């Protein structure tokens, strides 16, 4: 290996020949295009690399949208974090490109020093040392060996380099298309998508990583090409499919696509009675693992139990309707989901996944829509029943851990359940994000945020996950990163209210009054819950906009007459307004609510 193949910066070593990034000697998971982007920037450390040049080098001979480059840089910032002096590694040069600002030591040569901006350079350097507050944090450890894209052998015709044999294969299950001609049947296609993601995610988590449903569903009815989707999600393979339900029969088509060259590894059609749908899912999973030549370890006990479970069509229909409703992310959708899951349990009381789904619906309502006192005991009961039915169900342990952390305030028990969930399925976003919350609660912010970064690799487009992570950045004091993360969420979902509220809070801490007012108005416009309004009121009060802060707080309290509001955020708003007496009363109520 020649001396110029190794680039060292901070705690990292980038090996240009082996195409691997290491942190403290441990390989860091990076999708191929993220790594290629980093390599170009590092090799030109201190110099501005124009966007056109980056696009040409990372995607030679292929036209791609500029947004793909922005996503690669965003992902790199998530993985690299900040330098010790608080400056980010990658600086954005508005309208032009990017610059790697850290000192790079080319092994055996002189360090490449960042070039200071010229006095005539009007571009602004983005300082990214921020941190965020958090109420319900979800963070994950950066598992060094997870999500390295490649697998040893694909079969007799398709193979990847042998050096990738120990690395994890990444797969995305795209939303199954509803071919019934009736849009009211979309729920069934969505439910099938969820089921395939869940089944594949449990099948071989040590070797097969599956992108979470929340990110996969962004491509429903999308015109994006397979190549674009695989780049954006950082996956090696895509499972595409369609479903047509007619009476008591169902026709399912599925095909596995290799992302590198859009090769179809296999395609299959299944036309069976609806009651055979679990077997169809099992057969598809087996075809995938067979095509990827993944050596199956002893069968996952939960997956085996699910395969042998008697199928109840009425229960399944209620279950997928619940999944569809919960996916809307609204108060009404959550309430409908709870009713659907309860109906599913009434029709099949021995299916543990139904209890997990019900418990997750209860948990999702806390903080923004329902008092923890009204939802978390039910979530606990559901989690315990699911574990009783299936002790090896990772989702159930993650659900119970959430209750232990956010409601029981039993830290040791919470950690035990999170670690058990991660042992059973390290790819489970709920377990990773919940454990990040646990770490943040104990003040271990760096560990928590590293877990969030890992979560983003598995669920890169999940607005709810990113909303929860915002609080972690804010409460750990990373204001600039709070701003950066909030803006990213609103790129994904412009009508999400909470990111605007956190933008206002972080800008208030940074004394950016104009930005506080601008973000606060958008937060009020897209609030969605009184809790977002109270958070916005805090930001306005801290920025000195007392009259507007009082107005927004009163609006939240008026809505609180009919809807839940987190009293912790009410107390914070009163504190920022200087009314300590009312703040103390709100804190007492927050304690009784078990607000988190």
Q: Which residues pair with 250 in a beta bridge?
A: 245, 272
- What residue ranges in 163-306 does DSSP mark as E strands? 169-173, 177-178, 208-210, 237-246, 249-258, 263-273
Quote the pLDDT of residue 582. 94
d(CA 375, CA 266): 45
* CATH number, domain with residue 392: 1.25.40.10
What average pLDDT does the segment 244-256 reach?
Answer: 83
d(CA 169, CA 516): 43
d(CA 90, CA 403): 39
Two tokens, residue 428: 């489970």
**HSE (side-chain half, CA atoms, 13 Å) at 21:** 23
Quote the pLDDT of residue 574. 94
335 lies in the same domain as 258: no
d(CA 398, CA 157): 40
Quote the pLDDT of residue 153. 23
182 lies in the same domain as 291: yes
The SS3 call for residue 111 is strand
What average pLDDT does the segment 235-243 reach?
Answer: 88
Instruction: Find the length of the chain.
Output: 596
pLDDT tens figures, 405-443: 999 999 999 999 999 999 888 888 888 889 988 998 888
Instruction: Please say which residue of 273, 307, 341 terminates a domain.
Output: 307
Alpha-carbon distance values, 584 to 155, 325, 558, 590 (Å): 66, 37, 20, 10
Provide the pLDDT confidence category of residue 308 given band limits of 50, 70 and 90. low
346 lies in the same domain as 363: yes
Alpha-carbon distance values, 466 to 41, 147, 407, 415 (Å): 27, 19, 22, 22
Of 179, 245, 248, 241, nearest in space to 216 by CA: 241
Residue 210 phi, psi dihedral angles, 5° rounding: -120, 125
Residue 139: which region, alpha, beta or left (left: phi > 0; alpha: psi -120 to 50)? beta
544 lies in the same domain as 589: yes
* Rounded percentage of the chain residues whose pLDDT exceeds 90: 27
The SS3 call for residue 319 is helix
186 lies in the same domain as 292: yes
- Cα angle vertex 227, ends 241, 74, to 5°? 115
Please, is 255 exposed, middle or buried when counting C-beta atoms within 10 Å of its C-beta (0-12, 13-18, 19+)? middle
Number of H helices, E strands in the chain: 24, 15
Question: Widest CA span of the chain, in angstroms?
Answer: 74
Spatial contact of 296 and 204, defined as CB atoms under 8 Å apart: yes
Residue 279 lies in a domain: yes
Of 210-219, 458-467, 559-568, give the lowest mean pLDDT range: 458-467
Provide the pLDDT confidence category of residue 386 given band limits of 50, 70 and 90. very high
Residue 70 phi, psi dihedral angles, 5° rounding: -60, -40
Quote the pLDDT of residue 471. 85
Higher pLDDT, 256 or 503: 503
225 lies in the same domain as 349: no
Please identify which residue in the block is written with the tokens 């890992």. 454
Quote the pLDDT of residue 180. 79
| pTM score | 0.63
Residue 185 lies in a domain: yes
Of 67-71, 82-86, 421-425, 580-584, give the lowest mean pLDDT range: 82-86
Quote the pLDDT of residue 64. 57
Please, is 250 exposed, middle or buried when counting C-beta atoms within 10 Å of its C-beta (0-12, 13-18, 19+)? buried
Higher pLDDT, 132 or 475: 475
pLDDT tens figures, 530-558: 889 999 999 999 999 999 999 999 999 99
Burial 328-354 (b: 16+ CB within 10 A, else e): ebebebbbbbbebbebbbebbeebbbb
Instruction: Please say which residue of 307, 341, 370 terminates a domain.
Output: 307
370 lies in the same domain as 300: no
Instruction: Please say which residue of 426, 456, 484 terminates a domain.
Output: 426
Residue 465 lies in a domain: no
pLDDT tens figures, 159-203: 222 323 335 788 899 998 888 777 777 888 887 888 788 878 877
What average pLDDT does the segment 273-281 reach?
Answer: 77
Beta pairing, strands 237-246 & 249-258: antiparallel
Over 70: is that where the pLDDT of 110 sits? no
Residue 441 lies in a domain: no
Residue 265 lies in a domain: yes
Strands of 12-15's sheet, edge to edge? 26-28, 20-23, 12-15, 6-9, 104-106, 111-112
Please identify which residue in the block is written with the tokens 């809807």. 563
Of 10, 47, 17, 50, nearest in space to 35 by CA: 17
168 lies in the same domain as 285: yes
* Rounded percentage of the chain residues whose pLDDT exceeds 70: 82
Of 258, 256, 261, 355, nearest in space to 315 by CA: 355
Higher pLDDT, 468 or 377: 377
Of the ranges 190-204, 323-337, 505-519, the best mean pLDDT one: 505-519
- DSSP letter string, 463-501: HHHHHHHHHHHHHTT-HHHHHHHHHHHHHH-TT-HHHHH
Q: What is the mean pLDDT of the chain?
A: 79
What average pLDDT does the segment 60-77 reach?
Answer: 70
Spatial contact of 214 and 462, defined as CB atoms under 8 Å apart: yes
Provide the pLDDT confidence category of residue 65 given band limits of 50, 70 and 90. low
176 lies in the same domain as 274: yes
Quote the pLDDT of residue 115. 45
- Cα angle vertex 372, ends 370, 378, to 5°? 100
Quote the pLDDT of residue 293. 60
Two tokens, residue 260: 């590198």
Higher pLDDT, 550 or 251: 550
Of the ranges 172-181, 205-214, 309-318, 509-518, the best mean pLDDT one: 509-518
* CATH number, domain with residue 258: 3.40.50.10610
pLDDT tens figures, 4-53: 678 888 888 888 887 888 888 777 777 778 888 999 999 888 889 988 88
Residue 378 lies in a domain: yes
Over 80: is that where the pLDDT of 145 sits? no
Provide the pLDDT confidence category of residue 296 given band limits of 50, 70 and 90. very low
Beta pairing, strands 104-106 & 20-23: unpaired
Of 236-245, 279-288, 345-354, give the lowest mean pLDDT range: 279-288
Higher pLDDT, 258 or 414: 414
265 lies in the same domain as 199: yes
d(CA 246, CA 180): 7
Of 222, 163, 203, 118, nearest in space to 15 by CA: 163
Residue 487 lies in a domain: no
Residue 433 lies in a domain: no
pLDDT tens figures, 116-139: 444 344 333 232 333 333 333 222
Q: Looking at the 3D structure of the chain, how many domains does it have?
A: 4
Provide the pLDDT confidence category of residue 399 given band limits of 50, 70 and 90. very high
189 lies in the same domain as 294: yes
Q: Residue 314: in which H helix or E strand, if any?
A: helix 313-326
279 lies in the same domain as 195: yes
Give Rg (Cα) of the chain: 24
Spatial contact of 214 and 465, defined as CB atoms under 8 Å apart: yes
Enclosing domain of residue 517: 494-596
d(CA 492, CA 504): 18
């Amino acid at each position: 290996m020649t001396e110029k193949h190794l680039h060292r910066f901070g705690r990292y070593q980038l090996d240009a020949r082996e195409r691997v990034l290491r942190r403290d000697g441990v390989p860091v998971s990076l999708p191929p295009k993220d790594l290629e982007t980093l390599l170009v920037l590092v090799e030109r450390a201190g110099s501005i690399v124009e966007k056109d040049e980056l696009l040409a080098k990372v995607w030679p001979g292929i036209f791609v949208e500029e947004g793909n480059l922005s996503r690669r840089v965003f992902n790199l910032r998530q993985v690299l974090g900040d330098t010790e002096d608080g400056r980010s590694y990658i600086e954005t040069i508005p309208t032009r490109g990017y610059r790697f600002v850290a000192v790079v030591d080319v092994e055996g040569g002189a360090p490449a020093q960042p070039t200071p901006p010229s006095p005539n350079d009007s571009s602004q350097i983005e300082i990214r040392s921020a941190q965020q507050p958090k109420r319900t944090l979800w963070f994950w450890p950066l598992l060094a060996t997870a999500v390295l894209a490649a697998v040893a052998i694909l079969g007799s015709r398709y193979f990847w380099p042998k050096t990738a044999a120990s690395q994890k294969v990444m797969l995305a299950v795209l939303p199954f298309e509803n071919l019934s001609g009736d849009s009211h049947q979309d729920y069934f296609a969505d439910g099938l998508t969820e089921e395939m993601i869940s089944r594949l995610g449990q099948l071989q988590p040590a070797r097969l990583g599956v992108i979470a449903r929340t990110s996969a569903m962004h491509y429903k009815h999308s015109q994006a090409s397979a190549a674009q989707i695989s780049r954006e999600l950082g996956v090696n393979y895509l499972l595409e499919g369609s479903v047509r339900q007619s009476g008591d029969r169902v026709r399912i088509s599925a095909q596995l696509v290799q992302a590198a060259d859009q090769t179809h590894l296999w395609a299959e059609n299944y036309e069976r009675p609806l009651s055979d749908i679990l077997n169809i899912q099992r057969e598809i999973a087996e075809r995938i693992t067979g095509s990827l030549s993944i050596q199956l370890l002893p069968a996952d006990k939960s997956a085996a139990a699910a395969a042998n479970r008697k199928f109840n069509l009425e229960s399944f229909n209620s279950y997928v309707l619940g999944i569809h409703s919960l996916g809307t992310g609204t108060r009404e959708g959550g309430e409908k989901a709870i009713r659907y899951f309860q109906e599913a349990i009434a029709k099949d009381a021995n299916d543990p996944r139904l209890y997990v789904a019900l418990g997750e619906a209860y948990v999702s309502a806390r903080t923004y829509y329902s008092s923890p006192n009204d939802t978390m005991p039910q979530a606990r009961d559901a989690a315990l029943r699911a574990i009783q039915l299936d002790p090896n169900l990772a989702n159930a342990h993650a659900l119970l851990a959430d209750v232990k952390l956010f409601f029981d305030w039993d830290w040791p028990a919470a950690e035990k359940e999170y670690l058990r969930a991660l042992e059973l399925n390290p790819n489970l976003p709920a377990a990773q994000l919940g454990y990040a919350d646990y770490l943040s609660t104990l003040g271990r912010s760096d560990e928590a945020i590293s877990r969030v970064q890992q979560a983003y690799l598995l669920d890169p487009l999940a607005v709810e996950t990113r909303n929860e992570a915002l609080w972690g950045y804010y409460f750990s004091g990373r204001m600039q990163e709070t701003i950066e993360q909030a803006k990213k969420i609103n790129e994904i979902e412009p009508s999400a209210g909470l990111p605007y509220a956190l933008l206002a809070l972080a800008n208030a801490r940074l004394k950016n009054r104009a930005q506080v007012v601008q973000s606060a108005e958008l937060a009020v416009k897209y609030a969605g819950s009184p809790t977002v309004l109270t958070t916005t009121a805090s930001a306005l009060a801290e920025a000195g906009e007392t009259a507007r802060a009082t107005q927004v707080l009163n609006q939240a309290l008026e809505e609180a007459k009919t809807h839940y509001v987190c009293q912790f955020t009410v107390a914070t708003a009163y504190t920022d307004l200087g009314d300590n007496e009312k703040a103390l009363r709100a804190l007492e109520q927050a304690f009784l609510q078990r607000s988190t």
